[in-house]
Structure 1
């Protein structure tokens, strides 16, 4: 592999580009109320955030629910979330400046999310962020969602960058595990979790205001080995 080959940054969307986990949890909680479920959405998302919504919903039912019904519930949750988040859409502090600096430093930039195209547009296009991404990969582009590595492997392949030169930016434990399973290193974005919640990120950040491409490159040189993913979630 040529040493002058660029690195790639692969961003998750929810909780990384935007700090929307509270509204996501509230939308789940309202849906659970309507379905007569007592599950605590915040605790649920601490464990399963990053998975497709239908798969998260499947975990809360005692008996199996048909896939079509789960997708309908997921669509209801999505509508609730959009209403709750409509006037709150804003990027995590420092994001645009970091994206601009990373592109100037030669990084390739991709988005790898479990959201569908409509939801991606709801965020990227409203905030004017799409221009910064060379590749956008959503749930319809992969067979299996996180913590399976499909999302990040597909993004890397479309970027034309080998996994060992990709860095994933994630806010969720399952997303971090997906990165390691894809053979990539990870930056933990702590919009909803604390540093000890993650396994072995290069760095833990609250937002992008203190992160520079130069510092990230230095971290990559200091930590060349990809952590092994945990055997159990």
Structure 2
């Protein structure tokens, strides 16, 4: 019998039963497998898990989960229940999404300073939060005419280590663009519309704008 069914049998309300199910551990210390690997990957994005991902829920993973729960106002158990997993996934990204963002950073900003690369990654994250744009990484990146690197094929090159680092720094909260939704190279931009956007700052070869 599931935790939900058992709770209902005991006479709990449906809301209480759902709460009981949500607090039941999905993975905990001693477990191993794909879910653990995913949890480690997401904790690593936030800088909470420093070891290599191995899919084994050891003491370091437990400590990282507890730290995440503490930071996000969740019950601190060190185990991953449904609410913890949902919160973790809402604030991090899949392996494929990290790869897409790293490829965009490399295609758009390789050769720029590290700050400039983080700023490009931050623009993607800012668009995800904005109602003006799609709500998935893939849709943001592949929106028609959104990014030059996608249009000219440079997006499809293999990103280097700095591109991945830039994405991770943006996920952890660094936004050198200061909330920008757009950026452009003033030496080549001919669109009157992009020049009309309120400008925030310039980093290397890009002007960042709202």
- Which of the two has greater helix per residue? 2
TM-score (normalised: structure 1): 0.25
TM-score of the superposed pair, with normalisation by structure 2 = 0.26
